[in-house]
Amino acid sequence: MLKVPEHQVAGRQAIDGKLGPLIDNSGHFYKPLQDDDERGTGELTFYHSFSSNTRIPHHIRRFFPVFYGTQLLKASDGSGLRPHLVLQDITSDHLNPSILDIKIGSRTWYIEASNDYIQNCFHRDKTTTTVSLGFRICGLQIYNESAFWKPERKLVQSFTADDVRSVLRMFVSSNVGPEPDFCFADSVYGGCDGILERLMELKTWFEDQTMYHFCSCSVLLLFDKESFLKGKTPFAEVKLIDFAHVVDGNGVIDHNFLGGLCSFIKFVSQVLADSKGSTMED
């Protein structure tokens, strides 16, 4: 009944006897807690705090996967029963979703972490677009012409600013190759219910909230081209995922997440503007 998520684009995967998340057919995503590791505990702590936090506005709560508690399940690595977070499977309503997983922030470490952890993150941040752009694409799949483009982790990690722009163009195009047609840009990025508007809502909240610092957290963009063509909604979604490294905000805004989010918003805005330019030239 439980299976490996088909549309997971980043993070540890439950394949080759390794520990990773599982899904069922009822829209649940089971993420293993790593009991001897601060990661799992950190994410559970966050979900407990967040679900009971009455200061989270309703329109912000929508950005987070629904949390259903924890459950003991047979772990994917064959190590026996292990507690799992039970979360909403964001992709379950979509057959062939295009997905971008964007880790936000120009710094993925936090002061409270161990020195080894900081040094590892610091190196990765400098050698990806994290420091230069304030975010990095961690994984992606783009559905086009009946197939997924799902580049390997190494290729994704080597992305430059120009590669990021190309990916954001391909995400809203109906063709593959060097000349994207920007076919869906207006509907997906633009408009009063588009991705840019959602990102601006998040930005407004991050300018104010001082409760949590979302270190190493991702914005996940989903676009379901088939739903869009059939007039089915929602065809595009914006979610926040991965809260293993959320720390107390201590009365300070999450300037690291906010800065990176603003940079990402600028990239999306520019692709939307380019798409208008390209349509006008046609």
Residue 20 or 260: the one with the smaller Cβ distance to a copy of itself is 260
Residue 122 or 148: the one with the smaller Cβ distance to a copy of itself is 122
Between the two ends of the chain, the Cα-to-Cα distance in Å is 50
At closest approach, how far in Å is the CB of 263 from a copy of itself?
A: 4
Residue 263 or 278: the one with the smaller Cβ distance to a copy of itself is 263
CA nearest 205: which of 245, 258, 252? 258
Q: Rounded to an integer, what distance in angstroms lies between the CA atom of residue 161 and that of residue 179? A: 17
Residue 150 or 165: the one with the smaller Cβ distance to a copy of itself is 165
At closest approach, how far in Å is the CB of 105 from a copy of itself?
A: 9
At closest approach, how far in Å is the CB of 66 from a copy of itself?
A: 29
At closest approach, how far in Å is the CB of 160 from a copy of itself?
A: 10
* Residue type at position 189: Y
Which residues, 6 or more positions from 110, have their beta carbon under 8 angstroms from its beta carbon?
A: 213, 215, 245, 247
Task: Please give, one letter per residue, the 3-state secondary structure of 198-231.
Answer: HHHHHHHHHCCCCCEEECCCEEEEEECHHHHHCC
Residue 82 or 107: the one with the smaller Cβ distance to a copy of itself is 107
The residues that touch a copy of itself, with contacts defined as CB under 8 A, are 106-107, 111, 122, 126, 131-134, 161, 207-208, 210, 250-253, 255-256, 258-260, 262-263, 266
At closest approach, how far in Å is the CB of 121 from a copy of itself?
A: 12
Which residues, 6 or more positions from 10, have their beta carbon under 8 angstroms from its beta carbon?
A: 101, 138, 139, 153, 218
Query: What SS3 state is found at 148?
Result: strand
Residue 72 in contact with residue 82, Cβ under 8 Å? Answer: yes
At closest approach, how far in Å is the CB of 260 from a copy of itself?
A: 6
